[in-house]
């Protein structure tokens, strides 16, 4: 739990959907694409969309960069020195590209994602091996952009035409999908208008834009028909969702969740990442009313100090956050709360940090992600005085992570002996073992036959690890009538 998951994930083409296979067979002109994905679930989703868009061009995903005719780095700007890390990765790719050229094989290189959006032409200038720089709103144009590359042009496409991207996603939803894993992401919203002073998202992803209800329902129905049982709705500020419904009204996220819960076969819904200010009553009520909405909420607060919340431009106070948590817990007792915390934001004093520790004790989290503040170029925070020394940040971060670990352990231990529904997702490390997901988003390991993958089974929780649970299949029982409405472990008094 050293950092938020958005910043830690790195996946390769193996994790993206492989609809390219089908089309390559049709065209008989197979080329290989290697996609390396950094960052958040939205980037994982975007990488899937890129391989889908490239499928009609005959591109098949490969896990081996040396085999690839096209290499795409789908980058993330959250981490410190993100751009520099991309440039050093491009240095490694240059050697692969040169080796392929010596053997008479070409390799196109593209940079996508938030670093592409932020750096633009600078990438082609500093790394001449890059043929294509493409921002997150332009992936639907990849085939046309690659045509330009083949004509010998260097291409930089970082326009913010998000409506065109969403329209394209909608058109894609009409085509059949091959069988998908049981859990999938679905982007409903992109961009952010909040301008927190530490964050690059409003600059790299642009203003908030929501997909229409019809587009989302169509894609979700298609996912359910291809075997998906759990959908996580994604957005940089997902609970700011405000999409147009078929009758022209504007729906918030709560209404959208109610509509999606009517889809046959879609048994589990989640959403991430939310801002406290956008948790409206309808969304909170959805947690009370919808059995399909899992009892888990990732609701970043970042700091427990009013002074730091103000400096971060979070636009709420700690007391407002406490009142919000009370309303959520009234609606959904036993919900697992997760948060993000930034340690050592400019001006953070010992007292401010103690306010954050106090907030954590009072709320009681099932899990949380925390990281040291590091300035992002171009954000207001980077220009603030009173930057906190690294050693102070490290000491505070360690103390906070100890506290969160205790709470996570307490939360996991409180599941012992409980029977809950587990979505079985994949084989585990050991023979005969499967890994699934609890309603509260913990991985659950258990012995079960492979033919149960994709199903939801009643499981008794018989053990806990630091980040996961161990379960026992309850013979002959599929799903329970479990609602997640169980008492939360007592939050520690602050
Ligand atoms: S709400 Fe989230 S995405 Fe938007 S600026 Fe703040 S931290 Fe960034």
How does pLDDT run across 101-152, given as a tens digit for each residue? 988 898 999 999 888 888 888 898 899 999 999 988 788 889 899 999 988 8
Does the pLDDT of residue 9 top 50, yes or no? no
Same domain, 51 and 132: yes
| Least reliable range by pLDDT among 171-175, 365-369, 397-401 | 171-175
Percent of the chain with pLDDT over 70: 86
Instruction: Find the 194 Cα to ligand 1 centroid distance in Å.
Output: 6
> For residues 256 and 234, is the Cβ–Cβ distance under 8 A?
no
Residue 322 pLDDT > 60: yes
Phi (first) and psi of residue 262, to 5 degrees: -85, -10
Looking at the fold, whether 321 and 280 belong to one and the same domain comes out as: yes
**CB of 78 closer than 6 A to ligand 1?**
no
21-50: average pLDDT? 72
Q: Which residues pair with 155 in a beta bridge?
A: 132
Same domain, 190 and 234: yes
The answer on 370 and 439 residing in a single domain is no
**How far, in Å, from the CA of 189 to the mean position of ligand 1?**
13
C-alpha to C-alpha distance for 247 and 268, rounded to whole angstroms: 26
In 3D space, the residue among 142, 323, 166 whose CA is nearest the CA of residue 235 turns out to be 166
Kindly indicate the confidence band of residue 19, based on its pLDDT and cuts at 50, 70 and 90.
very low
| CATH number of the domain that residue 490 is part of | 2.40.50.140
| Res. 432 pLDDT band, cuts 50 70 90 | very high
196 is in an annotated binding site: yes
Identify the pLDDT of residue 481: 56
User: Could you give the C-alpha distances from 204 to 165, 234, 416, in angstroms and in order?
Assistant: 16, 17, 43
DSSP state of 237: T
The model's pTM is 0.78
Q: Where are the beta strands (DSSP E) in 296-335?
A: 296-298
Q: Is 430 helix (H, G, I), strand (E, B) or coil?
A: coil
CB atoms within 10 A of CB 108: 19
C-alpha 192 to ligand 1 mean position (Å): 6
Specify the DSSP element, H or E, that contains 201. helix 201-204
Last residue of a domain, one of 391, 413, 435: 413
Tell me the pLDDT tens digit for each residue of 162-184: 666 666 655 555 555 556 789 99
From 106, 139, 159, the end of a domain falls on 159
Per-residue pLDDT of 440-464, as tens digits, reads 999 999 999 999 999 999 999 999 9
- State the average pLDDT over residues 468-473: 96
pLDDT tier at 221, thresholds 50, 70, 90:
very high
* 111 in the same domain as 174: no
Q: Which of 18-27, 103-112, 163-172, 355-364 has the highest mean pLDDT?
A: 355-364
Same structural domain, 99 and 217 = no
Which residues, in sequence order, are CB contacts of 104 under 8 Å at separation 6+? Answer: none
Residues 448, 405 within the same domain: no
* Mean pLDDT within 387-413: 96
CA-to-CA distance for 448 and 141, rounded, in angstroms? 43
Clarify whether residues 419 and 289 are in a common domain: no
Going by C-beta distance under 8 Å and a sequence separation of 6 or more, which residues neighbour residue 458? 419, 420, 421, 422, 473, 474, 477, 478, 479, 480, 482
pLDDT band at 157 (very low <50, low <70, confident <90, very high): confident
420 assigned binding-site residue? no
Same domain, 234 and 101: no
Which CATH number covers residue 17? 3.40.50.12160
Indicate left, alpha or beta for 62 from its phi (over 0: left) and psi (-120 to 50: alpha).
beta
Cα-based distances in Å from 253 to 239, 278, 316:
6, 10, 20
Residue 478's pLDDT is 62
Domain stop point among 413, 444, 469: 413
339 in the same domain as 322: yes
Same domain flag for 305 and 378: yes
CATH no. for residue 408? Answer: 3.80.30.20
Give me the pLDDT at residue 29, please. Answer: 61
Residue 280 reports pLDDT greater than 70: yes
Between helix 350-363 and helix 390-413 the angle, nearest 10°, is: 10
Provide the total of helices (H) and of strands (E) in the chain, helices listed first: 16, 22
Same domain, 402 and 424: no
For the chain, the residue count is: 494
Per-residue pLDDT band at 16 (split at 50, 70, 90)? very low
38-47, 96-105, 360-369: segment of lowest average pLDDT: 38-47
* Percentage, residues of the chain above pLDDT 90: 66
Q: State the residue range of the domain holding 337.
A: 164-413
- How many folded domains does the chain comprise? 3
The pLDDT of residue 485 is 47
Please list, residue by residue across 161-194, b when 16 or more beta carbons sit within 10 angstroms of its beta carbon and e when fewer do. ebeebbeebbebbeeebeebbbbbbbbbbbbbeb
Query: What are 250-259's pLDDT values in tens digits?
Result: 999 999 999 9
pLDDT value at position 46? Answer: 85
Burial of 18: CB neighbours in 10 Å, binned 0-12, 13-18, 19+:
middle
Ligand 1 pocket test, candidate residues 199, 298, 311, most atoms within 8 A of CB: 199
Q: Cα(386) to centroid of ligand 1, in Å? A: 22
What's the average model confidence in pLDDT over 35-60? 85
Exposed / middle / buried, residue 390 (Cβ in 10 Å: 0-12, 13-18, 19+)? exposed
* Cβ atoms 58, 27 nearer than 8 A: yes
Average pLDDT over the chain, rounded to an integer: 87
């Amino acid at each position: 739990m050293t950092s938020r998951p958005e910043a830690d994930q790195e996946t390769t083409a193996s994790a993206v959907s492989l609809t390219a296979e089908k089309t390559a067979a049709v065209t008989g002109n197979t080329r290989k694409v290697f996609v390396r994905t950094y960052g958040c679930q939205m980037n994982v989703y975007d990488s899937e969309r890129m391989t889908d868009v490239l499928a009609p061009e005959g591109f098949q995903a490969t896990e081996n960069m040396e085999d690839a005719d096209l290499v795409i780095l789908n980058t993330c700007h959250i981490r410190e020195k993100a751009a520099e890390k991309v440039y050093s990765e491009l240095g490694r790719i240059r050697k692969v590209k040169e080796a392929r050229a010596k053997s008479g094989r070409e390799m196109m290189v593209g940079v996508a994602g938030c670093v592409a959006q932020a750096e633009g032409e600078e990438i082609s200038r500093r790394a001449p091996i890059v043929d294509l720089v493409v921002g997150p709103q332009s992936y639907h144009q990849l085939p046309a952009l690659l045509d330009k590359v083949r004509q010998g042009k260097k291409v930089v496409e970082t326009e913010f035409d998000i409506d065109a991207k969403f329209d394209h996603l909608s058109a894609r939803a009409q085509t059949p999908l091959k069988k998908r894993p049981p859990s999938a992401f679905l982007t409903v919203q992109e961009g952010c208008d909040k301008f927190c002073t530490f964050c690059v998202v409003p600059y790299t992803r642009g203003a908030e834009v929501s997909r229409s209800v019809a587009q989302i329902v169509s894609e979700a129905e298609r996912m359910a028909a291809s075997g998906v049982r759990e959908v996580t709705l994604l957005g940089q500020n997902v609970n700011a969702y405000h999409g147009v419904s078929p009758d022209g009204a504007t729906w918030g996220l709560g209404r959208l969740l109610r509509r999606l819960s009517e889809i046959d076969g879609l048994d589990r819904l989640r959403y991430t990442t939310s801002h406290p200010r956008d948790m409206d009553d309808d969304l909170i009520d959805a947690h009370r009313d919808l059995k399909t909405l899992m009892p888990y909420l990732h609701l970043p607060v970042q700091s427990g100090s009013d002074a730091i919340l103000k400096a971060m431009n979070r636009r709420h106070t700690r007391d407002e956050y406490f009142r919000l948590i009370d309303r959520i817990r009234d609606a959904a007792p036993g919900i697992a709360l997760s948060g993000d915390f930034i340690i050592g934001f400019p001006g953070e004093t010992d007292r401010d940090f103690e306010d954050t520790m106090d907030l954590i004790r009072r709320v009681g989290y099932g899990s949380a992600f925390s990281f040291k503040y590091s300035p992002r170029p171009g954000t207001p925070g980077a220009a603030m005085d009173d930057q906190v020394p690294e050693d102070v940040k490290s000491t505070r971060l360690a103390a906070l992570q100890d506290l969160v670990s205790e709470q996570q352990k307490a939360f996991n231990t409180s599941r012992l002996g409980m029977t809950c529904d587990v979505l079985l997702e994949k084989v585990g490390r050991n023979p005969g073992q499967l890994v699934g997901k609890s309603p509260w988003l913990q991985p659950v390991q258990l012995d079960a036959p492979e033919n149960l993958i994709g199903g939801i089974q009643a499981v008794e929780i018989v053990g806990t690890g630091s980040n996961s649970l161990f379960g026992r299949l309850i013979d002959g029982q599929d799903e329970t009538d479990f609602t997640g409405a169980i008492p939360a472990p007592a939050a520690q008094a602050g």
